[in-house]
Structures are given as structure tokens and as C-alpha cells.
Structure 1
Amino acid sequence: MKTLTSHPQADRDTAAPGKVWFVGAGPGDPELITVKGRALIERAGAILFAGSLVSEAATRWAPVGCVIVDSKDMTLEQMSAWLIEQAGRCETVVRLQTGDPGLYGALIELVQPLDAAGIAIEVVPGVSSAMASAAAAVESLTLPEVTQTVIFTRVEGRTPMPEGESLEVLAAHHSTLCIFLSITLMGRVTAALTVAGWSPDAPIVVVHKASWPGEEKIVRGTVSTIQSLCREAKIVSQAMIIASPTLGARQWTTLAKSKLYDASFTHRFRRASVPVSNLIQETP
């Protein structure tokens, strides 16, 4: 357990415990934390941040006297005990997690001991690395008449997948796949896509440390080439794998346009400006 800053803080005037806030730090760039998340850091008495995944720069707004601890070498039990202890002396305690706390964030495992201790908690969402990766690559995860579905998943490793959630099964939908925590298992990823009927030429983009200043890498390839390309780029951690029929649409010469912005489409904010015969109109 590494303590970056540890200044004694006077005991609170009230005996009631403070609140623990689970804050999504976002994908890496400290400026992508939400305004609410930053405001909580600015008034926090104690911060426990996931140093293996969250940039230390995300704690730079903490006030003087804030106790800041890196949790990368702590167990869940140690983290829960630390949060409970700090809630006894601080009004605002922040658990700073990578991306969004609700995605692969051990949120419930940490919340349950706090519930048992009678400590109030609240969750502040954050920008997921899936969104940041798509933004870095200037890709859309959905497109009209291509796919309207996005699946967040991972490849089975030490953590088993529930029945019916193997990548082969999910990939059979041929929608967008955002594959977390699987860069070291790229061979399994491409094998699963192949079994599910994806073409060897189907595009894949891998983004390492999306949005991290000076550290981001973007690798574009196909089902047949992406593993070797990632190996050449020495990408072995903190990478998002996106497989989608929408990839590369920026260069397409033909593209189905969204009906919402079509001049012939009426919705509650705008009347159609051009006549259309036999058009079935929808209200979003």
C-alpha cells in the first residue's frame, strides 16, 4: 500500500460516519473525469485510487491534508477496511476507479462491507475506455442499417464466463464487440470470431491506453493480422479490442443516413420540410 500524501486531519465534529463516493476516473486523461468527480476530489479527506489503472494525475485536485493511498497492492478486504476507517474520520471519502465503476470495477464487492458497516455510499459514473477508444480511433460503434447493438464483454481467463456468454456465442450476432481485459488472449479472440463466421478480412481496432497523454497507441488490422500487429507494437496490457462491422465507415463512399435528421422525417421538434409519399414515420 503506497501513500502518496498523508497529512493528519482533525477528527470530525460529528460521530456519524462520512460518505464513500465511488468515482469513475475515466479512461486515463485526467481532464475526462466528470465535473462532479473532480469536485468530490477537491473536497475529499481521503482518496483510495487504483494506481495500476488510474493516472496519479487524477488526484492533483485533492486539497492539502487529504490522505491519498494507492490500492494496487491491496486486497478487497484491505480496501474495504481502509474505506471504513477513513469514513470514520472524513466527511468525504473517494474511491477513484478506472473508467466507469459499474464496468469490471469490483463495485459490489466493495460496497457490501460498507453497507454492513452502515456507511452511506454513492456512485459517480465515468467515461468507459470503450467510449474513449472509439473516440480516439474516430469510429462510431453504431450505424444505421449496419448495427444498432454494442456488446461489452471479455474473453474467459481466470475469471470464467457464465453459460451462454462465450465470445463465440456473442460474436455470432455480428454486432459491435468491445472486448475488455483480453489483449493477452488475442489468439482466443480471433479464433472465436472465426468460429462465429467473421471474415479473415473483418476489421479490428485495438487502442492501448486510450486518452492517456503521450501513451496512447492505436493499431488497426483484421481478424487475420491483428494479433501479430499488436505483438509488433508491444501492446500487452490496458487495451480495448473493438470488432465491428462499422469500423472504417469514415472512408465509405455510401452511408445510410440517420432518419432523425432526414429532411423528410417528422418528429416532435421539427416538421418534415420535403414531401414524402408512402413514408412510415417514427417518433424517437
Structure 2
Amino acid sequence: MRENTTKLCADKSNKNLKSAVYIVGAGPGDPDLLTIKAQKLLMAADVILFADSLVPQQILDFCRQDAEIVRTANKTLEEILPLMIERVRSHQSVVRLHSGDPSLYSAIHEQMYLLAEADIPFEVVPGISAFQAAAAKLKVELTVPGLVQTIILTRISGRTEVPPTEELASLAAHQASLCLYLSARHIEAAQAKLLEHYGADTPVAICYRLGWPDEKIWVVPLDKMANYTHEENLIRTTLYVISPALGEVIGRSRLYHPEHTHLFRPRG
């Protein structure tokens, strides 16, 4: 089915894509969660640079057979950037494919700065982030009226330090729905900081390789989060969702309540 759909879309794609760098979010891993725009760009681009340690090979099925595929997991920015600049200056279109959404932990800031400095046109195309895919898989809403109305996306300090004002324990004090990225290697420290403000029985979803064929999700109490992480030998590609919304929830939005009036549903 996908082969037919891909061919149909490819026939309609813009084969004369503007020579530029397209920084594209690949989503969490499932090729079906690519945006339509991302698919069109992949099918039209001359060159694809992708983070092969974080983006599944199957996503390349959308690419042209004659496209140049460049794996970047073993490359530095100093190797990647000149390649993108040279290809665009040679009148080729380049897709720089990142996992998830480019606005989160994707190191695109320095790429955009240097591309602009080199007078290379670029565009950013958003993708679905892992926290959104996790909520969908768990069949939960992370903002439940009367329970929680804030989502915090963060990480614990590691080789990349977080600013002191964003220290995990201070964010945990809000007791919001907290989505913890890039923290599996420091899970004991993360658990200890979270327990300063969340109850030990607060539900935690441990989400490993969301959208990949070997995806796994466990929902455990917060005080068991580190144990499960070690038992399953999780050291990367793991998202933690800590939220009261994962428990037994009773709540209702005012939006569709019969007593709630608004512009499109006036009283009477």
C-alpha cells in the first residue's frame, strides 16, 4: 500500500525544488508520522543528510532512488556544513533530516546561524515530537482540567548542562506533566530530584524508541523508574513522562459543557 502511495505522491512532488537546505523533523520514528510536507521534500530532494543513529532507515523509502544519501551520525558540524553549502551552491536541494521536531534538542541553532552567515537559504519544517507520540500511544491528555494544565519539556544536566534556573528539582516543584528527554544515563539523579516534589506513586511512562519496530512502553511508579531503566538496560532513545494525568483521572473541560457559553454557542 505504501509503495503505491509513495509513487503517487512522488509523481505530484515538486521535482524542481528550490536549491536550499530544508531542516526537516522526521518525527519519533514511525514513517507514517511524517508530515505531508516532509514526505514531499524527501521525495523531491537531491541530497538527504540524516542522523542515522536516530532516524529509522525506513524513512528513506520516500527518497528518490537517485538521491545522494549522507549518514551523519559519525560526522561533526565542521564536516556536515561545508557539504550542505557546496551542494546548494551547485544548485541542488538538500534535506537535513533530524529526529523528532527540530525545535527540541536537535542542535539546529548553530546550523542555521552558519548557513545564514554563508548566505545559504534554508527552511525549517516541524515534526512530531516524542512527547506527543507518547501521549497518543498512552491514550492520555497531558493537560486535564482541574488536575494539570502545564507541560514541561526538559532534561537533566549531563555533558550538556542546563542553566541553574532550570534545575530539575525546581521544575518538578510545579508538579506539572513533565517530559524528560536525554536523561537515561543519569536516571538515579533524575529520580531523586523528581521525588523531592512528586509522590513516590506518581505514574511514570518509560518510552523506549517510540515509533520504531522495537518500541517499548512501561508505566511504573516514580520510585521504580530507575530500577526499570537499569533492568531493561536503557541508556538512550528513552523519554520519561511524569504526570498525574497518567493515573486514574476524572475531569471535564468546560469547552463542551452544556452550561458553558461562548461565541459559537450562545446561551439560549
TM-score (norm 2): 0.90
The alpha-carbon deviation at position 23 of structure 1 amounts to: 0.3
The CA distance in 1 between the partners of 2:21 and 2:90, in whole Å, is: 12
After superposing the two structures, state which structure 1 stretch, 105-114 or 122-131, moved more: 105-114
CA contact (8 A) 1:28 1:210 kept: yes
Give the alignment partner of residue 260 of structure 1, picking from 244, 249, 255.
255
Task: Tell me the equivalent position of 1:236.
Answer: 235
Query: Matched residue of 1:123: which SS?
Result: strand
**How far 1:82 sits from its partner (Å)?**
1.2
Cα displacement (A) at 1:210:
1.0
SS in 1 for 2:195: helix
Contact 1:24–1:99, Cα closer than 8 Å, also in 2: yes
**Superposition deviation, residue 64 in structure 1:** 2.7
Aligned-pair identity (%): 37
- 4+ residue runs of structure 1 moved beyond 3 angstroms? none
Contact 2:195/2:223, CA 8 A, preserved across alignment: no
Tell me, yes or no, if structure 1 residue 190 matches structure 2 residue 191: yes
Counterpart CA distance in 1 for 2:104 and 2:202 is 27
Aligned-partner Cα distance in 1 for 2:122–2:97: 13
CA distance in 1, matches of 2:142, 2:187: 20
Amino acid corresponding to residue 183 of structure 1 in structure 2: A
Closer/same/farther in 2, CA of residues 147 and 118 from structure 1, 3 Å limit: same
1:180-219 Cα distance to aligned partner (Å, 9 max, x none): 0001211011100122x2211111111001121x211011
Aligned residue in 1 for 2:8: none
Q: Which residue of 2 aligns with 1:99?
A: 100
Match of 1:229, SS? helix
1:1-284 correspondence runs (5 A): 18-195=19-196, 197-212=197-212, 214-249=213-248, 252=249, 255-272=250-267
Counterparts of 2:220 and 2:267, CA distance in 1: 41
- Secondary structure at the aligned position of 2:163 is classed as coil
Offset, 1:232: 2.0
Give the counterpart letter for 2:157 in structure 1.
E
Q: Secondary structure at the match of 1:261?
A: coil
**2:11 corresponds to:** none
Give, in angstroms, the shift of residue 135 of structure 1: 1.3
Distance 2:206 2:87 in 1: 39
Partners of 1:60 and 1:90 in 2: how far apart? 24
Taking only aligned residues, the RMSD between alpha carbons, in angstroms, comes to 1.4
Q: How many residues align?
A: 251
- Take 2:128 and 2:232, find their aligned partners in 1: how far apart are those partners? 25
Report the secondary structure of 1:96's partner residue.
strand
Deviations along 1:8-54, whole A, 9 cap, x unmatched? xxxxxxxxx92100000000001111000000011100010010101
Contact 1:18 1:119 in 2 (8 A): no
Specify the structure having the higher radius of gyration (Cα): 1
Distance 1:66 1:90, change over 3 A: farther
Q: What is the TM-score normalised by the length of structure 1?
A: 0.85
State the SS of the aligned residue for 2:244.
coil
AA in 1 matched with 2:206: V
Identify, as 1 or 2, the structure richer in helix.
2
CA distance in 2, matches of 1:74, 1:272: 62
